[in-house]
Structure 1
Amino acid sequence: MIRGKTIFLKIAVVVIGMVALVLFIFWLPGLARSTAEMNPDYAYLRYPVPAGVYISAIPFYFALYQALKLLHYIENNNAFSEHAIASLKSIKYCAVAIILLYAVGFALLRFQIAFHYSIAIIGAIVIFATSAVAVFAAVLQELLTNALEIKSENDLTV
């Protein structure tokens, strides 16, 4: 039963990664090009904004890899282990890194007086979603740490 659920979640993680990759490769350059053509005032952002998104893809894919590792631990009945806690910690740090990258990008755009509302909306959505992931990973990490402590105490008493 658990194996079927983890396989479904693994497939979901892979699909998320593939969809993001397709968007990064095909949609983002076209969006940057069409935005630069429609708004010549912001044409100089055609390359820096996608570059920032591509840089933020590094922690995103590392977090997806850590999620796959976590699902593997769950599949092998090692959910209550230090490895699972380390994976959750990595996911949390990746989410924080993405938030910081977008915050720095917002600040740079603000200093250049190029803070277009469409960039702000997309960035705010990414920051909000990533914040939710970071908080969720931190809560799970804390719960798993407490459960691991209780488990080790129970093992010592028996």
Structure 2
Amino acid sequence: MKRGTTLFLKIADMFIGIPVLALCIFLVPEIGNVAAKLLPGFAFIKYLVSIVFYASAIPFYFALYQAFKLLRYIDKNKAFSELSVNSLKKIKHCAITISTLHLIALPLFYLFAEKDDAPGVIFVGMVVPFASLVIAVFAAVLQKLLKEAIDIKSENDLTV
């Protein structure tokens, strides 16, 4: 694969992290304040919202780093190696973690929908867990295919 394509993907990988950082800095505190205003009976809600969003940012950035490492392996012609399989495995675990954290926060969306009388809010709350699960399944499929390709390659190397 040409270095230009992976360079583009590496740059895109870095730029994906910028909006999430901006959301963590500017939007998460506002969401916490709105949650505290909407549900004044739950004093801890502001902190719970912040914890869920900030805690899910950690595996997000770790997954971005693993994707960057995977692109480096492709550049070094080590795409069909155990290193790539391990990176995909870590990306899968990060996606599952993000999905789990946001599923834990899903009852908050129910409380918001109940308070604001807007049932569509629950569907908005399901976007991130669903997208994370899709990424986890995709990474698991790629991990399995890559593992099988490595096994086939090692069998072919032994028969020659």
**TM-score range with shorter-chain normalisation?**
0.7 to 0.9
Unaligned segments of structure 2, at least 5 residues:
114-119
Corresponding residue number in structure 1 for 2:143: 141
Q: Does 1:77 align with 2:73?
A: no
1:6 is the counterpart of 2:9: no
> d(CA) in 1 for partners of 2:25 and 2:42?
20
Do the aligned residues in 2 keep the contact of 1:67 with 1:91 (CA within 8 Å)?
Answer: yes
Structure 1 unaligned regions, length at least 5? none
Secondary structure of 1:147's partner?
helix
Mapped to 2, the partners of 1:28 and 1:121 lie a distance apart of 19
Aligned-pair RMSD on alpha carbons? 2.1
Find out whether 1:116 has 2:118 as its counterpart.
no
* TM-score, with structure 1 as normaliser: 0.86
Partner SS state of residue 101, structure 1: helix
**For residue 26 of structure 2, what is the aligned residue in structure 1?**
26
Which residue number in structure 1 is paired with residue 106 of structure 2? 106
Map of 2:152 onto structure 1: 150
Tell me if structure 2 keeps the 8 A contact 1:35–1:43: no
How many angstroms does 1:26 deviate by?
Answer: 1.1
Q: Does 1:126 align with 2:128?
A: yes
TM-score by length of 2: 0.85
Distance 2:47 2:103 in 1: 18
Change (3 A) 1:35 1:103: closer
